[in-house]
Every structure is written in C-alpha cells, then in structure tokens.
Chains A and B, each alone.
Chain A
C-alpha cells in the first residue's frame, strides 16, 4: 500500500489571541505545532501500514521550518517526509493549496490511500481535503470517525454526520479526512525519534512539481482577504453576587427571555 498523510504546521491556538488593551495580536512565544487533526490522520495511516504493509509518506506545504512536523511524523511511524515549499506559494487560499498539493501528489506518483485531518485549526476551512481529492479525481469521505476494516482492495468505516453517522465502503484509491474520534495517536518511540533525526526530508519547489504560476500563491487564489479585525466585544460581563440562593434568583431573572 502506498499511503500519504497531509500535515500542516499551525500556530498553537492558546498562544494566538488579541491583546484586549491594544486590540493587536499578542504573539510572544507563539509555538508551532502539528495540526491536532493531522496527528489522528497520521496515526490512522500508520495503523493501515501496520495491518497491510506498505509505506507512509508525510507531505506538508509550508515554510522551511515546517520540516519539523515532518520529522515528528517520521518519529511516529511515517517512512518519508516531503516538504513542498516556495516563496511563490505565499497568499495561497484553499483552491491554490489544493492545486499545489495535487501537483505534488502527481509528482510523487500517486497513492492508494490519502489521509488528511478534517481541518487545520488556524484556518478552520476543512476545504483542502475535498479539494485535493477532486483535483486528483479520487473519491473522498470527510469526517471519518472510525475505520472499521481495511483489506488490500477496500475499506469500510463510519463518517460523522450532524444527526448520527453513515457507514461507508469504498475501493482504493480514496482520500479520507478524519476527526479526532478515529483513534488515539501514539507517542513517538525512542527508536522513532532517532530515525527522525537522521531522516532526509525531500524538499520540492514550485518548479519541481511543474506548477503553473497562475495557479499558485496569491495569483492562483480566487479568494482574497480584504480586511482583518478583532471580533466584536461581548456585552457587559457580570459576576453575580450574594449567597448561592440569591445568585440563582438573579440568574433566573436574567434568563427570563429564554424561559418562555
């Protein structure tokens, strides 16, 4: 089995916030981490490899320092790391990102099974997984909460829906995006850590993947950000006072509009 897992390096959410005094972004000590959903995608990819054999390639698009998450992926069981990185990718929206990843996948020769996290926690779009599948012409299933059975030609699993779940079956090749319920990611082994330090990360540029300059970065992005601003401030915050009974009495008064 040729298995691919797509991984994004993201800023740690707890570090990214607006300074309430100045309304600017407080970012001292912002750490970069592997997107949490991608950790589950990686774990599922490694589990399939352990059950059916094959190799797992971890792919990331991002700046040179995104190499860190690829080494982390190798320490958790991936065999190869590929970083596609180029200054001309700057400003890419999900359309241009899907294009860039698809060109990279074609360059790498295609895969039987592709895992992505449901979404990245910085952009929260959940659009790149389905977009990549569409570009590659492979079927996709989003929000997979359980892989029930994998065999050399087909896979069955459960996809989370708003009102429950659907059980699905599909033949390879296929792209799956996963939610965190799908598994519990392992911690890297000492052997894995040693391996990741020595591993060679393949780096590809826009030229290497044969990307059309009109389809990458800002020029290739149909959507453009025109304004960025802090969210509207929440109303007057009030901590109730008095004994517990008095506070409950006040609260019920406040909740009157919702009790009709």
Chain B
C-alpha cells in the first residue's frame, strides 16, 4: 500500500503530475491516493520531501535463481512453416543469452517440421528441442502448453520468449500461470539489468500512450511475449552448429479437450497484417467497399498488405482480421500509408510504432497529420491512382 506522510507532504503536486494512472491527487494541500494505484513507485521516486513510501512491498526471492539458466525462444510453427517472428526472437534472444553468458535454446512443436530445426540453429540457436508428432499438427492450447511447461520444469531456463501472435498470446499465459512465472505481454524492448542480470521488459500500455518497464524480481522463469516486426533477426549462417534434442511427448501431453474440426487459411489475401513490412490502410474516407479496390492496388504496387480502421470494418467494407487499432490488431510495419483515415486515438494506438507513416487526407486539420511523417493533403481518389503511376514510372527507370 502507498502511504502518504501528511507531516512531510507539502502538496507540491509532483506525484500527481508523474502518476501514469491518475491514482494520486493533491486535495487541500495533501496528496491523496486513489484505488487506481498500481504501486509502481513513480511518485515515490519523484517526491522531493520523501513523504511517500510503499508498505508491504516486494517479497524476498522465492526461487533459487542459480538453478535457472539459459534463454529460450518458443519457435512458432504452423501449417508447414516457421512464423517469421520466431527468427526475430532468436536475434533478440541471442543478445540476451550473450549478455548473460548462457546458451540460447529454441522449442519447436508441430508436425512435419522438416529442416526447421536446422534453420533455427543457422539463425542463432545453440540447442533445439523438437517435438514433431502427427498429433501436434493442429495448434492446441493444452497439448502445446503441456509440452512446453514440461520442458521448462525439466531444464529450468531463466528467460522464455514467445511471439505476441494469436498462438503465443493464447497458450503462453496459461503456461506462465501454471509455473507461477511472471509474464509480460507484447514487449517492444528487452534488456538485461546490469546489477542483477534480471530481464527488463518494456512494453506500451494505454494504447501506446505510456511505456512501462517491468521486471520479475523474485521469481523464475521470466517470460515475455514480443511484438512481431520489432526485433531484428540474424542473417542465416549455414556454418553455425547446434544440437537437436528430440522430444517424445507422453500420451497425456497430446490430449486436448478442445477439438479442432477444421483449419481455414485465408487464401484470397494476406490477413496476417502484423507480419507485413508495408501496410496500406483505408478508413471512412473511402466512402464504400469499392474504395478498397484502390487501396489493394496501391498495396500490390508497394508489395504490401491491406489494413483498415474500425469504421471501415464496421461498415462491412473489409473483414475484421484487417482492422488496426485498439479493438483490432497492433502493427509495427516499416511503412504505413493511411488513406482517408482521420486518425482517432483508438486507431493511432494500433500503428504508432510504425517506422514511417504517410497520411493522405483531404482534411488538412485531420489528427492523422499529427502522427504522420509525411502528410499529403488531397482527395485520395485523385492522389492514389497518380501515386501508383508515379511509383511504377520510377521503377521502370
């Protein structure tokens, strides 16, 4: 609990200004703590008169940290291929493992994984734990979770990373709960703290309006899901060597109470917009679903995928898997071209980590221009076809 010493408090309001959660305010010259307090300690740090303390604070270490060693990456494999984020995580995991001077392991679960294990080694893994079994052809929260948590209990890695994908964000929380491990969702930055070797996990909160750094001070393992397209994969190095350890799952580890009756892969267009380097996105300004034909043409021209705002999805112009924003997907591509999008905070929350944002909108006062690196004020039905022509012309040169 956060305590205020009324004798020491001078009502300066520094705590109020620094609270990210709006949980402390100065009333009649004294700081008062509200229910929204998360005990993050920001106010304690800024208080110049030391009027604030956190009582009943961190408990002592519960795990014998020395027993836990190594960095692991859960390498997602589905429908015959490794998810691109798996290789990105090996890049991030390699740095963490080197900083900790421990090996980097990869866990591969699926059926018909072919040369994926070798590929993981070529991209940085020292060891690959491979559970390749026909019963694991479809992703199951229970089967994949049982195998992963069994391996973690047996080998005790200190850090486990997984992609913040539909699969990673589904079964990893259950694994963490079962192990009593701390888990941080959708991280965009990972570092090792110098003084104690703890994993510093940084992630956006409140739709990207605030960044928070999180640690697991008293327990192991430390687990994190990591946003796709943020970490950099290492170049393929066929000369790297590593060990492949075959895992034979126990029959009870293959059991699943949820029956997968059918797997439907979208064939018409790429709906996995979180893995795209370039997104062309349309909003209410497209007027109707025909407007998306134009968006698709620009996306094809740029070699990207199609995204949309909630307004366009709710109007039925395009499917929900394409929705970017607070009630859709969070994306971080290299290039995001926003066409006819006003830039509501709920949408911006889902795309503001993009490297370069281009906005095309006829309203020069649209808030999208506040986040765009390059803004073009004009009618998208005039601008986009001309833009496609110009890009094609440039390519021919």
Q: Which residues of A come within 8 Å of B, CB atoms?
A: 11, 13-14, 16-18, 22, 24-25, 27, 30, 36-37, 62-65, 87-88, 90-91, 93-95, 98, 121-131, 133-135, 139-143, 145, 156, 158, 160-171, 174, 179-181, 214, 218-219, 221-231, 234-240, 244-245, 247-249, 251-252, 254-256, 258-259
Contact = CB atoms under 8 A, between A and B. Distances in A.
Secondary structure at the B interface, as helix, strand, loop or mixed, is mixed
Taking each of A158, A180, A223, A248, which has the highest tally of chain B beta carbons within 10 Å of its own beta carbon?
A223
Contact of B211 (A36, A90, A229): A229
A252 B387 CA distance: 7
B391 A95 contact: no
B153 to A, nearest CB: 15
Nearest to A142: B170
Interface stretch (B105-113, B123-131, B239-247, B373-381): B373-381
A87 B59 CA distance: 18
Given A164-B271, A251-B376, A123 B205 contact: yes
Nearest to B394: A252
A224 B206 contact: no
Nearest to A132: B177
Contacts of B185: 94, 123-127
Interface residues of B, number: 116
Contacts of B370: 237
A131 to B, nearest CB: 4
Contacts of B274: 162
A65 B36 CA distance: 11
A98 to B, nearest CB: 6
Contact of B39 (A14, A218, A249): A218
Contacts of A87: 1, 35
Contacts, number: 307
A224 B214 contact: yes
Given A180-B320, A234-B357, A258-B278, 19 more contacts: A11-B206, A25-B20, A25-B210, A65-B35, A124-B207, A125-B186, A126-B169, A130-B171, A131-B177, A139-B258, A143-B170, A158-B264, A163-B79, A163-B265, A164-B265, A174-B257, A227-B212, A230-B211, A234-B373
A224 B22 contact: no
A130 to B, nearest CB: 4
B22 A11 contact: yes
A180 B208 CA distance: 20
9 contacts: A16-B209, A25-B210, A91-B39, A93-B182, A121-B327, A164-B264, A167-B262, A239-B369, A240-B374
B141 A130 contact: yes
A98 B177 contact: yes
Secondary structure at the A interface, as helix, strand, loop or mixed, is mixed
A222 B177 CA distance: 10
B205 A166 contact: no
B335 A248 contact: no
B261 A167 contact: yes
Nearest to A25: B20
A227 B46 CA distance: 12
Q: 3 tightest CB-CB pairs across the interface, nearest first?
A: A222-B182, A63-B35, A91-B39
Contacts of B213: 225-229
Interface stretch (B4-12, B87-95, B216-224, B281-289): B216-224
B29 interface: no
Contact of B383 (A16, A121, A130, A244): A244
A141 B141 contact: yes
B266 to A, nearest CB: 4
B387 A95 contact: no
Taking each of A37, A181, A218, A252, which has the highest tally of chain B beta carbons within 10 Å of its own beta carbon?
A218
A258 B59 CA distance: 50
Contacts of B215: 223-224, 226
A166 B138 contact: yes
A122 to B, nearest CB: 6
Contacts of B335: 255, 258
Interface in B340-397: 344-346, 349, 352, 356-358, 364, 369-379, 382-383, 386-387, 390-391, 394-395
A245 B178 CA distance: 59
